[in-house]
């Protein structure tokens, strides 16, 4: 393999990894802000999102918007942080990955709960763009709602 080909392959792998990791960030933004456009942009048309074993299973672009409604019915607001992304490129069109998530989820009673989960993902490239084909959520814990004051920082005025 030539040095030029090695560099080209390396750059392609880095770009793929960056695009896949960005899907995780867009997932958090889409869910937390109720931004359906951003949320749907990360999914393969046949995407499957599995939050729980009995409820919280959404498949395809017709059902995936309901996932935002599902979360909004459960919580007044959510604030996710995704970390520890590991991406395994299987070939130029498929990859698998995992990441961890921590979230503060505020119930409709105004009380926050802490949630930790991991995501197991399968990614497919569609028209040159990476998309999530399958996301399985494994929750590690959900705390009881707690009487914890969540304070908003004062806004800084631009002068």
Residue 117 banded pLDDT, cuts 50, 70, 90: very high
CB atoms within 10 A of CB 82: 20
> What's the pLDDT tens digit per position in 7-41?
777 889 999 999 999 999 999 999 999 999 999 99
Ranking 35-44, 122-131, 145-154 by mean pLDDT, the lowest is 145-154
Instruction: Give all strands (DSSP E) within 26-150, no chain letters.
Output: 43-50, 57-59, 77-89, 94-106, 112-126, 129-142
Please, what are the domains in the chain?
3-142 (3.10.450.50)
CB 59 within 8 A of CB 136: no
Contact present, 20 and 127 (Cβ < 8 Å): no
Report the pLDDT value the prediction gives residue 1, as an integer from 0 to 100: 53
Predicted TM-score of the model (pTM): 0.87
Q: Which residues, at least 6 apart from 101, have a Cβ–Cβ distance to it below 8 Å?
A: 28, 80, 81, 82, 83, 115, 116, 117, 118, 119
Average pLDDT over residues 131-150: 91
Q: How confident is the model at residue 159 (pLDDT cuts 50, 70, 90)?
A: low
């Amino acid at each position: 393999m030539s040095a030029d080909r090695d560099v080209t392959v390396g750059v392609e792998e880095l770009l793929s990894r960056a695009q896949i990791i960005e899907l995780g960030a867009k997932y958090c933004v889409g869910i937390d802000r109720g931004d359906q456009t951003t949320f749907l942009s990360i999914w393969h048309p046949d995407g499957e999102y599995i939050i729980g074993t009995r409820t919280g299973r959404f498949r395809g672009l017709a059902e995936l918007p309901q996932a935002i409604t599902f979360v909004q019915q459960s919580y007044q607001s959510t604030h996710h942080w995704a970390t520890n992304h590991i991406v395994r490129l299987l070939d130029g069109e498929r990859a698998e990955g995992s990441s961890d998530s921590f979230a503060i989820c505020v119930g409709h009673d105004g009380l926050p709960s802490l949630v930790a989960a991991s995501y197991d993902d399968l990614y497919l490239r569609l028209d040159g763009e990476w998309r999530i084909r399958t996301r399985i959520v494994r929750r590690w814990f959900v705390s009881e709602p707690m009487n914890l004051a969540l304070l908003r920082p004062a806004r800084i005025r631009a002068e």
